[in-house]
Chains A and B, each alone.
Chain A
Amino acid sequence: SQQGEEDPQALSIQEGENATMNCSYKTSINNLQWYRQNSGRGLVHLILIRSNEREKHSGRLRVTLDTSKKSSSLLITASRAADTASYFCATSAYSGAGSYQLTFGKGTKLSVIP
C-alpha cells in the first residue's frame, strides 16, 4: 500500500509564482525524500530530510517535515517553465531484517505556465 500521499494531485501556476506540494504518511519513518519525474523520464532525487530534521533547503527548494502530523511539504520558489514535472514524495521506513523500504506516493503533477 502507498505510504506517502501527495496533495494536490495536479497544480498549475504561472512562471515566477511559488509552488507548494504536500505529502502525508501513516507510519514512523527514517527519512522522507522528494523526487522529480519529467515526462517520459526516470525519477531524479531532489532532496532528503531525516526524521530528526524539520526543514531543509536546496537552491529554490524548501522542504519541511512535521513528524507529529506525519506530513511534509515541498516549496519551489520563483518557479520556471522547466520545473514542469511530476513530484513524488518517498518515505523510508524500517521493513525488518535490518533493512528499510522506500515507498512512493502517486505524485503531484506541476505545470508552470510561461
Chain B
Amino acid sequence: DAGVIQSPRHEVTEMGQEVTLRCKPISGHNSLFWYRQTMMRGLELLIYFNNNVPIDDSGMPEDRFSAKMPNASFSTLKIQPSEPRDSAVYFCASSYAGRGFSGNTIYFGEGSWLTVV
C-alpha cells in the first residue's frame, strides 16, 4: 500500500505567487482531508471531501485558498496569491467511511512544507 502521496514535499515561493499542492489518497478511501499545521495554531482542518464532494470548508482561511477533488484519486489545494503567513506544513489525509466521515482512523501523507518569502 503506497499510502497517501503528497507533492511537492517542499516548496519555497515568493509572496504573490500561486501555489498548488497535490494529493493522491489511498485507493478505496472515500473521504479526503486537508490540514494545515503551524507551531502557533497546531493542526487545523481546512476542508474535507466525501465521495469527491466538499462537505465542510469552514476551515479554509479566506478566498485565497481553494480545493478541488476532480476524481477519487486526486485532489489539489491552491493558494493564490500566497502570503508569508501561509507558511506551514499542509497535510492531506484520507479515510474510508460508508456514508459521510464516520470518525474512523485517517491516514496522513508526509506533508508539503511551504515557505512563502
A95–B56 touching, CB < 8 Å = yes
Chain B residue nearest to A107 in the complex (CB): B42
Q: Give the number of residue pairs across the A-B interface with Cβ within 8 Å.
A: 60
B99 within 8 Å of A by Cβ?
yes
Chain A residue nearest to B92 in the complex (CB): A42
Considering only residues 42-68 of chain B, those with a C-beta below 8 Å from chain A are 42-43, 45, 50, 55-56
Chain B residue nearest to A30 in the complex (CB): B103
Taking Cβ atoms with an 8 Å cutoff, the residues of B that contact A are 4, 33, 35, 42-43, 45, 50, 55-56, 91, 93, 99-111
| Chain A contact residues, majority secondary structure | strand
Segment with Cβ contacts to B, from A15-23, A73-81, A96-104: A96-104
B36 nearest CB across to chain A (Å): 11
Q: How far is the CA of A13 from the CA of B4 in the complex (A)?
A: 33
B43–A98 touching, CB < 8 Å = no
